[in-house]
């Protein structure tokens, strides 16, 4: 996997800077999280111990890496999204110039690459990853990353920051008076979305977050995946509903991490989980 300048290589084979390139679960109970996602999506795990990066698990599905899982230092479980860069040092410096702050210092993970975690001006945490040349990341399939949305109070700050950092263009969608939904593009490729939080749902504890969508097995469908997740100790935040990207539901895993499942074969009308999620973090 290489990170290349737009226009120099097809995006289906390589990554443009700013494309999602890795996801990581920071969890208060790695053993329970592994059991949950393993049963739900068929993930298998390989333990890595690195003197610099610490201990973590690489999750794979059918032999291809899909995510990493590591222990949380605090009392919250969250999913973290990493965006590709050709040069982590230059990208970090540029992000800091635009108001970002490093929250997890640079570390190198053998076989994965060099990564750093920052918080941007919209108060949303995100990762930068300069992947190693041979690294692979499976997406767009059951049990893998399908889509990601940044749900934030500071929508304009998020738009400006990420557009300056990666050169995203954007297109506005949504229902007037109900949602402010912007899809970010690199060329013709849609890479992410930004959702402005609905004021009626905002509380003093509300925090920006990434909502990561993982693929549901089409043979099962979203509703059955939700049923199985409940049986494995998960909780439903948003009941299944139809959207433009498929039939979606939002869950919490048994350790409290929020994520969405989507069956893209059941795409319908516009909708985003952020319209229905009460944000009670």
Going by DSSP bridges, is the β-strand pair 78-84/125-131 parallel, antiparallel, or unpaired? parallel
Taking residue 168's Cβ as centre, other Cβ atoms within 10 Å add up to 19
CA dist., res. 152 & res. 134, Å (int): 34
Give the DSSP letter of residue 216: P
The whole-number pLDDT of residue 177 equals 47
Say yes or no to pLDDT of 256 above 90: yes
The whole-number pLDDT of residue 273 equals 55
The whole-number pLDDT of residue 68 equals 95
Say yes or no to pLDDT of 281 above 80: no
What's the pLDDT tens digit per position in 96-148?
999 999 999 999 988 889 999 999 998 989 999 999 988 888 888 999 999 99
CA-nearest of 143, 150, 113 to 131 is 113
Q: What are phi and psi of 89, to 5 degrees?
A: -70, -45
Using left for φ > 0, alpha for ψ between -120 and 50, and beta otherwise, residue 155 falls in alpha
What's the pLDDT tens digit per position in 173-229?
765 445 688 999 998 889 999 988 877 777 777 788 899 999 999 999 999 999 999
For the chain, give the number of residues.
281
The whole-number pLDDT of residue 52 equals 65
What's the pLDDT tens digit per position in 27-43?
999 999 999 999 999 99
Mean pLDDT of 66-89: 94
Q: Which domains does the chain have, with CATH numbers?
A: 20-131 (3.10.180.10), 145-275 (3.10.180.10)
Distance of CA 76 to the CA centre of its chain: 16
Say yes or no to pLDDT of 9 above 50: yes
Residue keyed to tokens 């439903």: 236
């Amino acid at each position: 996997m290489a990170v290349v300048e737009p226009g120099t290589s097809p995006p289906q084979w390589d990554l443009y800077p700013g494309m999602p390139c890795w996801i990581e679960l920071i969890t208060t109970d790695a053993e329970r999280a592994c059991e949950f996602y393993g049963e739900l999506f068929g993930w298998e795990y390989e333990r890595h111990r690195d003197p610099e990066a610490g201990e973590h698990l690489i999750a794979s599905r059918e032999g291809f890496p899909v995510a990493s899982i590591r222990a949380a230092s605090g009392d919250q479980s969250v999913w973290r999204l990493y965006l590709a860069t050709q040069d982590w040092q230059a990208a970090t410096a540029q992000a800091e110039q635009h108001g970002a702050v490093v929250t997890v210092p640079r570390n190198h993970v053998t076989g994965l690459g060099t990564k750093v975690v920052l918080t941007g001006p919209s108060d949303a945490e995100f990762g930068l990853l300069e992947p190693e040349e041979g690294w692979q990341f499976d997406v767009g399939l059951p049990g893998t990353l399908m889509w990601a949305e940044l749900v934030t109070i500071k929508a304009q700050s998020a738009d400006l920051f990420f557009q300056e950092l990666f050169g995203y263009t954007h297109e506005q969608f949504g229902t007037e008076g109900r949602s402010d939904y912007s899809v970010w593009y690199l060329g013709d490729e849609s890479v992410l979305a930004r959702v402005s939080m609905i004021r009626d749902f905002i509380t003093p504890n509300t925090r920006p977050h990434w909502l990561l969508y993982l693929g549901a097995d089409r043979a099962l469908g979203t509703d059955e995946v939700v049923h199985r997740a409940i049986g494995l100790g998960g909780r439903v935040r948003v009941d299944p509903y139809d959207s433009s990207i498929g039939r979606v539901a939002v869950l919490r895993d048994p350790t409290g991490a929020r994520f969405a499942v989507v069956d893209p074969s059941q795409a319908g009308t516009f909708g985003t989980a952020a319209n229905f999620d009460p944000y009670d973090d």
